[in-house]
């Protein structure tokens, strides 16, 4: 399936959105697929020219083939999956809300558990993950998957809070690195990996933390806050110009200058859950929004997900 939506796409709030050529790509959204219940976890796999994403309530992952445009089932059941990424070896890393764990898919299809507990207690429902160049896996753990049976399996929390964790690549140790969130959600490292950005869906903000040499974080500061009732932050991604792009639910896709100024928006017909850059030049923005998968080719280029 492929269709074009000709609604006004770009909202310029600051001239830096225009001069940075953030609004100089496609003038409409392309609909690649619809029929999901709540789409999340977009990930482009360049080696196969394929794109995978999660449909959480339907407990499945879907796959879109760039060469043919065909959509097929990638995995089901899938543990009510949410965020997806790849590690430095190109293996799929998935946050499974229903199974309350972070897993890695091996080349032969086997599933390896990266993290399912902290201090002997079960995680809430891992949401998003990002891999640092040292191989460590950082993930957020809100409670979205245990508050009802819609996006996971209803259960009582064991940890008593919603935090961000780091899994050590050598020992497998899971360390709490940041707390004080309403619901930590999207994660992304700055281009130089010296900072970690975390969106807080219930807190209405994006926080940024300095990453110390030993892999711990400072207390952080607020980078951006929600300015209207329609917006709630979900996942976040950088382009190679240092601008931060944020999925903002009914607020569409927000674009922030490196100084934290909201400089523009992409208008999307449905509440936006997640975004991801992909395509051969990494300048195609994929957008998961409620029931649909959208895309547009942009004049900005996304920052690579994994750096070596």
pLDDT band for position 6 (cuts 50, 70, 90): low
What lies within 8 Å, CB to CB, of 149 at 6+ separation is none
pTM of the predicted protein model: 0.95
CB 163 within 8 A of CB 183: no
Apex 282 CA angle, 304 and 64, nearest 5: 110
**In angstroms, rounded to a whole number, what is the distance separating the alpha carbons of residues 152 and 63?**
21
Indicate the DSSP class of residue 58: T
3-state secondary structure 114-182: EECEECCEECCCCCCEEECCCCCEEEEECCCCCCCCCCCCCCCCCCCCCEEEEECCCCCCEEEEECCCC
pLDDT of residue 7: 61
Cα dihedral 29→31→36→40 (10° resolution): -40
Residues in the chain: 308
What does the mean pLDDT of the chain come to? 95
Model confidence over 29-78: pLDDT tens digits? 999 999 999 999 999 999 899 999 999 999 999 999 999 999 999 999 99
**In angstroms, rounded to a whole number, what is the distance separating the alpha carbons of residues 99 and 212?**
31
pLDDT of residue 229: 79
Mean of pLDDT values over 162-177: 96
pLDDT of residue 228: 84
Nearest to 96 by CA among 74, 119, 71, 114: 114
């Amino acid at each position: 399936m492929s269709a074009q939506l000709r609604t006004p796409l770009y909202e310029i709030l600051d001239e830096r959105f225009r001069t940075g050529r953030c609004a100089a790509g496609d003038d409409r959204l392309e609909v690649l697929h619809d029929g999901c219940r709540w789409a999340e976890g977009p990930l482009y796999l360049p080696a196969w020219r394929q794109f995978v994403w999660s449909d959480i309530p339907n407990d499945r992952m879907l796959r879109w083939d760039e060469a043919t445009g065909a959509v097929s089932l990638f995995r089901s059941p899938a543990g009510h999956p949410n965020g997806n990424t790849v590690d430095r070896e190109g293996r799929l890393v998935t946050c499974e809300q229903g199974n309350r764990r972070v897993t890695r898919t091996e080349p032969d299809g086997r599933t390896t558990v990266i993290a399912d507990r902290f201090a002997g207690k079960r995680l809430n429902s891992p949401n998003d993950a990002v891999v640092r160049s040292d191989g460590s896996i950082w993930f957020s753990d809100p409670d979205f998957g245990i508050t009802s049976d819609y996006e996971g399996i209803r259960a009582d929390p064991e940890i008593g809070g919603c935090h961000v964790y780091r899994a050590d690549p050598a020992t497998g140790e899971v360390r709490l690195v940041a707390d004080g969130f309403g619901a930590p959600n999207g994660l992304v490292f700055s281009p130089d990996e010296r900072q970690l950005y975390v969106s807080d869906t219930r807190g209405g903000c994006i926080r940024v933390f300095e990453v110390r040499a030993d892999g711990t974080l400072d207390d952080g500061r607020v980078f951006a806050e929600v300015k209207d009732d329609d917006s709630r932050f979900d996942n976040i991604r950088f382009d190679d110009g240092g601008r931060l792009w944020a999925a903002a639910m009914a607020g569409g896709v927000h674009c922030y200058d490196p100084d934290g100024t909201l400089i523009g928006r992409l208008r999307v017909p449905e509440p936006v859950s997640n975004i991801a850059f992909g395509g051969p030049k990494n300048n195609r923005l994929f957008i998961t929004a409620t029931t649909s998968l959208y895309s547009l080719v942009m004049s900005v280029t996304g920052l690579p997900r994994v750096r070596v």
